[in-house]
Amino acid sequence: MSRAGWYPDPGGQPGMYRYWTGSSWSASITNNPAQAAPQGGMGVPQHPGGQQGWNPNQKRRSPIGWWLGIAAIVVVLGLVGWLAIRNLGGILGTTPSTGTNPTQNVCPKQVATTTTPAPAPINDRVYGGALSYPRLGTPWAAPREETRVPFGRDVLTQTVTIEPNYKPNSQWVASVLVGELVAGDGFFSPQQGSEIVVKCIMGVFYDDAEVVRDDKVNKATTVDGKEAWLVETHLSFDIPNLQAKGELAIIMIVATKAESSSIYYASIPDNADQQLVRDARNAMADLRVEA
C-alpha cells in the first residue's frame, strides 16, 4: 500500500476511510474515498481589517511579557500534539512498540466479531472464509482455529512442530491456513490487500525481532476464476533460542466475493523437511473458492 490515498479505516469503523500518506496513517477520516487528499497544514488567519495603526499613546509592552506568552503557547501546542498522537494510536487500534520491527505500527489489533461462520462441510477438505484446500495428512496436525492472523476471522490452520519449547510454552511450527479477511471489503484490490497483510504478518508472528523481507514472487493470478494476488517471500530473522533463522512465506489474497476477500497463508521454516514446502504448494494449487 505504498501509494497514498483513502483506504478503509484499519481501526474498523464501518463505512469510514482513513488517509494513507504513503508511509503512515493520517488522522483524517471520511466516508467518501473519492474526495481530495487532506490539506497538509492550516493557513495563517488574517485580521479582517489588516494591520492595526500604531498609537503613540499606547504603552509599550514589556519584552518579558511577550516571551512568557510565547512560552505558554509552546507548552499548550506541545500538550495538544502529544494528546493528538496518543489518540491517533487509539484510533488505529495499536500501541507504540518498543521493538525493532516497525511493521506493527500500521496494523490494528485483532478485530472482535460476533459473526458466526456457516458450518463447514465435513469431508476431506479444510475450510476457512470462502476458501478450502485438501486436508493434509501426517505429519500435519488436525485443523484448528487460528486467532492471530491480522484482519482474519473464520481461520483454520494445520501445523507441524519444528522446534518445540524454543521458549517456555512456545513452539515454532510450519503452518498452512485459510480464512476470511475482516477488512476484505475495504481492500481496493487483492494486490493492495496483500501489501498491508504481509507487513502485518511480519509484525505479529515473529516476536519482537526485526524481519527482513526478500520477495521471490509478487504477481496477479486467479483462483477458481477469481481475481487474486500471490506473494512468495523469504523472511529472515534472529530470535533468541530459535535455530531457524528464516522461512518461506506464501500469501495468496483472493477476491472471493464482491464485498470481501479470503487468504491462503503458508510458512515453512528453513530447517523444516522440504516435503512440507511441497505440501504447502500442493494445497495452494488445489485451492477452491466455496460459494
Under the banding of pLDDT at 50, 70 and 90, the label for residue 286 is: very high
Q: Is residue 282 part of a domain?
A: yes
Total domains present in the chain: 1
Rounded percentage of the chain residues whose pLDDT exceeds 70 = 62
Q: Is residue 263 part of a domain?
A: yes
Q: Is residue 79 part of a domain?
A: no
Residue keyed to cell 516476536: 207
Q: What is the pLDDT of residues 181-220, one digit of tens each?
A: 876 445 568 888 888 888 888 877 887 889 999 999 999 9
Q: Is residue 20 part of a domain?
A: no
CA distances for 265 relative to 34, 39, 270, angstroms: 32, 38, 16
The pTM for the full model equals 0.64
Q: Is residue 32 part of a domain?
A: no
More confident residue, 48 or 37: 37
Q: What is the pLDDT of residues 131-160, one digit of tens each?
A: 999 999 999 999 999 988 888 889 999 999
More confident residue, 196 or 33: 196
Q: Is residue 114 part of a domain?
A: no
Whether residue 119 has a cis bond before it, omega within 30° of 0: no
Classify residue 186 as exposed, middle or buried by CB count within 10 Å of its CB (0-12, 13-18, 19+): buried
CATH number, domain containing residue 145: 3.40.1000.10
Q: Give the highest mean pLDDT range of 72-86, 88-102, 150-164, 191-205.
A: 150-164
- Strands 152-167 vs 170-181: parallel, antiparallel or unpaired: antiparallel
Q: Is residue 134 part of a domain?
A: yes
Q: Is residue 25 part of a domain?
A: no
* pLDDT at residue 179 in the model: 94
Assign 162 to helix, strand or coil.
Answer: strand
Q: Which of 80-89, 154-163, 280-289 has the lowest average pLDDT?
A: 80-89
The three cell numbers of residue 3 are 501509494
Q: Is the pLDDT of residue 252 over 90?
A: yes
Domain that holds residue 233: 125-289
